[in-house]
Structure 1
Amino acid sequence: MIKNMSQLIKIVLSLLIVFHSGISLAQDTTVIKQPAIWNLQTCLAYAKQNNIQIISLKLGTKTTEQALLLSKAAQLPDLYGSASQSLNHGQGSSVTSSGSIGINSALIVYNGGYLKTDIKQKSLSVKSADLSVEEQENTLVIQITQAYLNILLDKESIIYSNDLVKTSKAQLIQAQQRFSAGSIARRDVVQFEAQLASDTYTLTTAENAQRQDVLSLKQLLQISHETAFEVASPDTIKSRVLIPALNEVRKFALENRPEIKNSEYGVQIARLDLDKAKSGYLPTLSLSGSTGTNYASNSSYSYTGAQFNNNFNQQIGLTLSVPIFTKRANKTNTELAKIAIDQAELSLKNTKLLLSQDIEQYYISALNAQGQFNAAEKQYEYNEEIYRIATEELRLGAANVFDFYQQRNLFVQAQQAYVQAKYNAALSASTYNFYLGIPVNL
């Protein structure tokens, strides 16, 4: 027997070790599965699955689901079993033993509709909890998209800055050669050296900005700063897209956005609270029943099983409870529920107002961003051509350094404005269209 028990314990421990190892391996696999290169959709999917705030809200949804199950179960009868045993010692050596065994149950037949109202309210609470998850996901989508585009902007700025540094180095070498040949003054060479230093500083600034923006995106994704992280650059950026009419987007958002639906559920939940408060004025009818037996024995009279049958009893009854005076409890609950309804309706009105204002602001921003992008693109094209001509003239010695750098600075400014406008237009359009239910897609 002992040997078999020892073997059983060893088997159980082995199974526990294997089970624990499996869990650890699964957890490690989850960590390892983080991609090395992240595109926008990967970032969004990862955040929705692993964000702590979203996970917490999902757990809150499970809590409300349990509350709903408990509310539904309140319509069912309960059932309790009981048993007791006692010994009594009297004068001399007399000892009396007695006991009882029983089962009792109760069912609420009517309580002013409180239970049905509570079930409706808990069902709405579950839906509201789901919408809270969706709200947090929408917030993350906007934040992550902006952070992701910032990194793409940094990467493109680095490419342009690298090109400028390479060009400045080549021009400095050419200037040094011409200075050695005596065709230009030392002042011109210093000008080229200063420009190279300025371009190198701009490149370093762009690289620092990229590191900071990568850190910001990692923080939004809630991954370790030590994690290898590379953002994928799409082939094209959709900066020039159709901007839907303001009324169309506003109408859709007011009918479909989770924050609006959540606020509407808040009003419905508050109204159900009023119904529950009013049920306190109504009577409660409950049904109860019990069955059991008792027995006793002493030193001169032995207990026999016949006592179970002789003392067996059954009972069933109805209880009606009518509230007559509740020290203003029902009145106060009703008034508080009315106040809560007013607050919920005010919250809904404010939510609609804020959403409408946000959409209008995004609409204006999208239109402005599109216009700025179109203008910046043309400006960049013209200045690029002028800069190309100035560069060729400088190479041939047909232009002085002052005129060249004047054109170069105009080109750099136009280039920076173009890159900034391109990503700003993409972000503004994506954000605005997101309120129309269009998924973010660069």
Structure 2
Amino acid sequence: MKQRSLFLIATMALAMQAGAQEKKQWTLDDCITYALEKNIQLQQNRLSLQETEEDVKSAKAALFPSLSFSTSHNVVNRPYQEQSATVSGTEIITSNSKTTYNGSYDLRAQWTIWNGGQRLNNIKQQQTNRDIAELAISTTSNTLQEQITQLYLQILYADESVAINKGTLEVSKATYERAKELFNEGSISKADLAQLEAQVSNDEYQLITSESSLRDYKLQLKQLLELDGTAEMDLVIPTLDETKVMQLLPNQQDIYQAALAQRPEIQSSKLSIENAKLAISSAKAGYLPTISLSASTSSMTNNASQNNWAEQMKYGWNNMLGVTLSIPIFDNRQNKTAVQKARIQYDNSLLSLTNQEKELYKTIESLWLDALNAQQQFAAADSKLKSSQTSFDLVNEQFSLGMKNTVELLTEKNNLLSAQQQRIQAKYMAILNRTLLDFYAGEPIKI
């Protein structure tokens, strides 16, 4: 009996340990690492990269000769001929049979020796496309990290907002209980009591709303991580050092220059320009001659021949070696159109780079200004919160003594709640924008 009890206790302990292991607590680093591995768009980008690598191999293989073997076998029937003569290799075969069988065997090689450098340019283009596909992975990765960081900090903000609303509700309930005592004593009217009761209901509603926002942000984060929406997600809520909120912002121009040097979307646009240059060279090669070399060896057989199959293959065997020179003279403007379109694409790629650079500067400028504004708002909200807290404490104490009315108390309470919400909003906005500024400057995301 004792052994059985020990076994049950051990089993329950193992089950509890397994449950504790399954319930993972997610940090921001955990979320980013998981998303970079599981995100569907990133997986699709990696598959696109594999396709471009195959294109590079195919372009390189085009430098080498091609080799093919073909054979054909035919049954020929001449219903109205008494006698027929056919040439099989070097042999003239005469047959009285109306139906004959013949076969041919051909081994052929083809090699383009020179075509204006189109093949070499194609290799470079495919290699550039591969690099662009690799940068597309980095671009998606950066976007994903930014989205996760925004949602994670929104969750932290929502969680702190829930805590504030819970505290506000507790204060409202305590005030309402004290008001009932004052009402029984005849110090306040029934209308005043009703106002305080309504305030409790309003604070309960605000708490439910903030909890709903928190659940919604968590759901968005789970969707971004490709997690099941019904699964529990327990986030690690770090204690953020508020001194980071007021840290001196880095120079805006320094961030921009660092971002220009390493952001993948900028590098991708530069590679697109190089690709467009190669496309112009390839299009111009269409005006140049093409030189190709061909070689073949073949033989034929016919069942009407007096020679056996081996002799027919031997005497019908012939080899061929040829050089072809193809010079374009008039091509209905095909080459000129190709060159012009390649130049247009080059101009368009230059504009795309300029647009990317402007968008990058606009993003950094917006983040910098938002961070600066949030710092200033945090400083003002922090001062406002201290004075609002002092004012509310005094009015609440005076209300308990019957020296202040309900309207004055509720006004101070709402001012306090507003100051609390403004402070945490400015706090997380400052942290978010500062974190993203550091990320654009090339530093890893860290809060």
Normalising TM by the smaller chain, what interval? 0.7 to 0.9
Identity %: 35
Question: What secondary structure is seen at the aligned counterpart in 1 of 2:392?
Answer: helix
1:257 matched residue in structure 2: 263
Which residue of 124, 145, 149 corresponds with 1:145?
149
For 2:445 and 2:354, the matched residues in 1 are separated by 28
1:12 matched residue in structure 2: none
For 1:259 and 1:164, the matched residues in 2 are separated by 47
Change (3 A) 1:202 1:95: closer
**Counterpart mapping for 1:58-137 below 5 A:** 58-89=46-77, 91=82, 93=97, 95-137=99-141
1:166 matched residue in structure 2: 170
1:228: Cα distance to partner?
Answer: 2.2
Change (3 A) 1:96 1:34: farther
Change (3 A) 1:196 1:83: same
Which residue of 235, 247, 253 corresponds with 1:241?
247
Contact 1:296 1:303 in 2 (8 A): no
Q: Which moved more, 1:275-284 or 1:217-226?
A: 217-226
* Per-residue Cα deviation, 1:211-249 (whole angstroms, up to 9, x for no partner): 332333333334332222333311226533341101100
Which residue of 273, 282, 289 corresponds with 2:288?
282
Q: How many residues are matched?
A: 409
2:194 matched residue in structure 1: 190
Structure 1 gaps, min length 5: 1-32
Structure 2 residue 393 is the aligned partner of structure 1 residue 405: no
Which residue of 330, 335, 356 corresponds with 1:325?
330
Contact 2:172 2:199 in 1 (8 A): yes
Structure 2 residue 425 is the aligned partner of structure 1 residue 437: no
1:11 matched residue in structure 2: none
* Per-residue Cα deviation, 1:352-394 (whole angstroms, up to 9, x for no partner): 1121122112111111111211222222233223333443444
Question: What secondary structure is seen at the aligned counterpart in 1 of 2:303?
Answer: strand
Instruction: State TM-score, norm by structure 1.
Output: 0.86
1:221 matched residue in structure 2: 225
Structure 2 residue 202 is the aligned partner of structure 1 residue 203: no
For 2:191 and 2:258, the matched residues in 1 are separated by 64
Contact 2:117 2:285 in 1 (8 A): yes
For 1:400 and 1:96, the matched residues in 2 are separated by 119
1:5 matched residue in structure 2: none
For 1:248 and 1:35, the matched residues in 2 are separated by 43
Question: What secondary structure is seen at the aligned counterpart in 1 of 2:379?
Answer: helix
What RMSD in Å do the two structures reach over aligned CA positions?
2.3
Contact 1:65 1:126 in 2 (8 A): yes
Which residue of 314, 328, 350 corresponds with 2:355?
350
For 1:320 and 1:297, the matched residues in 2 are separated by 39
Change (3 A) 1:297 1:404: closer
For 1:208 and 1:96, the matched residues in 2 are separated by 87
1:397: Cα distance to partner?
Answer: 4.9
Question: What secondary structure is seen at the aligned counterpart in 1 of 2:64?
Answer: coil
For 1:251 and 1:277, the matched residues in 2 are separated by 35
1:54: Cα distance to partner?
Answer: 2.1
Question: What secondary structure is seen at the aligned counterpart in 2 of 1:305?
Answer: helix
Question: What secondary structure is seen at the aligned counterpart in 1 of 2:418?
Answer: helix
Contact 1:98 1:296 in 2 (8 A): yes
2:180 matched residue in structure 1: 176
Q: Which moved more, 1:119-128 or 1:323-332?
A: 323-332
Matched letter for residue 275 of structure 2: I
Contact 1:215 1:225 in 2 (8 A): yes
Matched letter for residue 44 of structure 2: S
For 1:34 and 1:366, the matched residues in 2 are separated by 38
* Per-residue Cα deviation, 1:135-173 (whole angstroms, up to 9, x for no partner): 222222222222222222111111111111112212222
Matched letter for residue 284 of structure 2: K
Structure 2 gaps, min length 5: 1-20, 83-95
1:183: Cα distance to partner?
Answer: 4.2
Q: Which moved more, 1:186-195 or 1:122-131?
A: 186-195
Matched letter for residue 105 of structure 1: A
**Counterpart mapping for 1:276-315 below 5 A:** 276-298=282-304, 301-315=306-320
Contact 2:187 2:402 in 1 (8 A): no
1:48 matched residue in structure 2: 36
Question: What secondary structure is seen at the aligned counterpart in 2 of 1:149?
Answer: helix
Contact 2:245 2:375 in 1 (8 A): yes
* Per-residue Cα deviation, 1:293-352 (whole angstroms, up to 9, x for no partner): 223332x72524233332322222221111122121111111111111111111111111
1:80: Cα distance to partner?
Answer: 0.4
1:116: Cα distance to partner?
Answer: 0.4
Matched letter for residue 292 of structure 1: S
1:14 matched residue in structure 2: none
For 1:436 and 1:127, the matched residues in 2 are separated by 22
Structure 2 residue 420 is the aligned partner of structure 1 residue 415: yes
* Per-residue Cα deviation, 1:254-296 (whole angstroms, up to 9, x for no partner): 2211111111111111111100001111111111111232233
